[in-house]
Chains A and B, each alone.
Chain A
């Protein structure tokens, strides 16, 4: 376990060194956030509430989603497949730590930095421009902490799984682009899932994507309470466990398949 935390710490420190990239990243996230908020405000028009979301909630929704892009990293993460292409994977597989946990540790360090420097910062910047909804109460705070943590885990397991494609095909990037591409819409990132027709929401709920983004949003905005909230958290746990097991099973087959090109 010490090795796990060492890796987390190293990755944490590595992320902290890129300060100029942080400023540029925040500016980009904020810019897109303002565009998306403008679209939602224009769609709302004279309406004050749509599907239980006030206009303020809708703006907060854009802040939240822009804030968690880097934290969840679900729209593009090719580190693992790159390490397979470069052959580094051989050294990584020899580490005295399971391959899954080796990447989990590093991603944890990355995610913690991203959560505060990119996520919290975006919320603060938004507060300078817009009047946004803030979470309140210990209960909601605890639920949010659980949801955010679980959503990171689910997103990691999904990214790990997608990256495993590199054990089989040299064109794993293409697989990744598709797998990460569909997440934009199905996770509730592009538009709040509540705005969609019922059949579409049902469809999304058969995928792990809402557990990565939508659950966080609905809990943050106080749209999920009581039994529904517990159900959403439970679903996140189910996806986390299910995807992890799937990752392990596929990894076992992949390792047997691995051919590293020397050079």
Chain B
């Protein structure tokens, strides 16, 4: 790598940092209002898990999984989705679609800075900390209830699983945003993958009908991102008898999907035609 390349990379990151620093400063400007937003997000989001646990008392288990084990899945998805929603908000198809529709994307394209970095720095939603906090609380519940035998390997692998999921959901946002180049409006069907996917991954995969599970294993490989790693962490047998390596492909799958989405994004940018508004 030559020096100029490294310099350029440094410049790009400096720009990104500047962009999100402005966002963050603006968002915490009204301190009380900001804290209330974070708190209220944490409360409303945790109500779902609290009600699940209240209902769990009546049933005892979910297809062989205890509350603590479901909490493990749930917590990882919440933390990852919250992080993704905070970082990748610029690519949120709803916001990005508005940019395409109103033609404000053209402004970004005229600037001499990498377009991907600009869109990424376009929005950084700090109040998602509420959802992330909620995820950590549920993770604490999982730790207390699920009795995981921690090893060094597991400890090191856990952040990789979260990163894999962040990449996966981020990739979905990027694909959704890119599609708006052609459709102009954000397509609601992408919600099935993003919000639907996060809901789906919060429960063990073997509860779903076969066609649905297969779709989310082999077409959209979402279930390798947290269900299989969870089998490893919770020391559970694989009900589908896949090779023993499967719990460990999560980071690769996540990064691969993000990379693929960026390729699609660049293709979209090259073919972008302004709406003219």
Is B66 at the interface (CB under 8 A from chain A)? no
Is A85 at the interface (CB under 8 A from chain B)? no
Is B191 at the interface (CB under 8 A from chain A)? yes
In whole Å, how far is A39's beta carbon from the nearest beta carbon of chain B?
6
Known: A177-B41, A178-B44. A45 touches B55 (CB 8 A): no
Residues of A within 8 A of B189 (CB): 24, 27-28
Known: A24-B189, A171-B30. A181 touches B40 (CB 8 A): yes
Interface stretch among A142-150, A159-167, A191-199, A240-248?
Answer: A191-199
Is B52 at the interface (CB under 8 A from chain A)? yes
Residues of A within 8 A of B113 (CB): none
Residues of B within 8 A of A177 (CB): 37, 40-41, 44
Task: Report whether B43 and A178 are in contact in the complex, using a CB–CB cutoff of 8 Å.
Answer: yes
User: In the complex, which of the residues B36, B55, B200, B204 has the most CB atoms of chain A within 10 Å of its own CB atom?
Assistant: B55
In whole Å, how far is B175's beta carbon from the nearest beta carbon of chain A?
16
Is B110 at the interface (CB under 8 A from chain A)? no
Complex CA–CA separation, A184 to B44 (angstroms): 9
Residues of B within 8 A of A41 (CB): 207
Residues of A within 8 A of B56 (CB): 43
Is A52 at the interface (CB under 8 A from chain B)? no
Complex CA–CA separation, A44 to B63 (angstroms): 9
Residues of A within 8 A of B44 (CB): 177-178, 181-182, 184
In whole Å, how far is B9's beta carbon from the nearest beta carbon of chain A?
37
Residues of A within 8 A of B52 (CB): 190-191
Task: Report whether A43 and B59 are in contact in the complex, using a CB–CB cutoff of 8 Å.
Answer: yes
Interface stretch among A29-37, A91-99, A217-225, A250-258?
Answer: A29-37
Among residues of A, the one whose C-beta sits closest to the C-beta of B183 is A20
In whole Å, how far is B229's beta carbon from the nearest beta carbon of chain A?
20
Is B58 at the interface (CB under 8 A from chain A)? yes
Known: A35-B208, A45-B63. A196 touches B55 (CB 8 A): yes
Among residues of A, the one whose C-beta sits closest to the C-beta of B63 is A42
Cross-chain contact of B55 among A42, A174, A178, A195 (Cβ < 8 A): A195
Cross-chain contact of A34 among B37, B58, B212 (Cβ < 8 A): B212
Task: Report whether A197 and B54 are in contact in the complex, using a CB–CB cutoff of 8 Å.
Answer: yes
Task: Report whether A190 and B33 are in contact in the complex, using a CB–CB cutoff of 8 Å.
Answer: no
Residues of B within 8 A of A47 (CB): 59
Task: Report whether A28 and B191 are in contact in the complex, using a CB–CB cutoff of 8 Å.
Answer: yes
Residues of B within 8 A of A171 (CB): 30, 33, 37
Residues 30-65 of B contacting A (Cβ, < 8 Å): 30, 33, 36-37, 40-41, 43-45, 47-48, 50-52, 54-59, 61-63
Is B187 at the interface (CB under 8 A from chain A)? yes
Residues 165-219 of A contacting B (Cβ, < 8 Å): 171, 174, 177-178, 181-182, 184-185, 190-191, 195-197, 200
Residues of A within 8 A of B57 (CB): 197
Is B10 at the interface (CB under 8 A from chain A)? no
Is B196 at the interface (CB under 8 A from chain A)? yes
In whole Å, how far is A226's beta carbon from the nearest beta carbon of chain B?
26
Known: A28-B196, A31-B192. A43 touches B47 (CB 8 A): no
Among residues of A, the one whose C-beta sits closest to the C-beta of B127 is A174
Task: Report whether B62 and A51 are in contact in the complex, using a CB–CB cutoff of 8 Å.
Answer: no
Residues of A within 8 A of B41 (CB): 177, 181
Complex CA–CA separation, A28 to B188 (angstroms): 8
Residues of B within 8 A of A44 (CB): 59
Is A3 at the interface (CB under 8 A from chain B)? no
Complex CA–CA separation, A27 to B203 (angstroms): 21
Complex CA–CA separation, A31 to B170 (angstroms): 21
Cross-chain contact of A185 among B30, B51, B199, B208 (Cβ < 8 A): B51
Cross-chain contact of A25 among B40, B45, B188 (Cβ < 8 A): B188
Among residues of B, the one whose C-beta sits closest to the C-beta of A25 is B188
Task: Report whether B36 and A174 are in contact in the complex, using a CB–CB cutoff of 8 Å.
Answer: yes
Complex CA–CA separation, A177 to B39 (angstroms): 12
Known: A28-B191, A31-B196. A191 touches B59 (CB 8 A): no
Residues of B within 8 A of A34 (CB): 208-209, 212
Complex CA–CA separation, A27 to B189 (angstroms): 7
Known: A28-B188, A178-B40, A181-B40. A38 touches B208 (CB 8 A): yes
Task: Report whether B199 and A32 are in contact in the complex, using a CB–CB cutoff of 8 Å.
Answer: yes
Please name the 6 residue pairs, one residue from A and one from B, whose CB atoms are nearest each other, closest first.
A181-B44, A24-B188, A42-B207, A178-B40, A42-B63, A185-B47
Question: Interface residues, chain B, CB within 8 Å of chain A?
Answer: 30, 33, 36-37, 40-41, 43-45, 47-48, 50-52, 54-59, 61-63, 187-189, 191-192, 196, 199-200, 203-204, 207-209, 212
- Give 16 pairs: A residue, B residue, CB < 8 Å, sorted on A: A21-B188, A24-B187, A24-B188, A27-B189, A27-B192, A35-B208, A38-B209, A42-B62, A43-B59, A51-B58, A174-B33, A178-B40, A178-B44, A185-B51, A191-B55, A196-B55
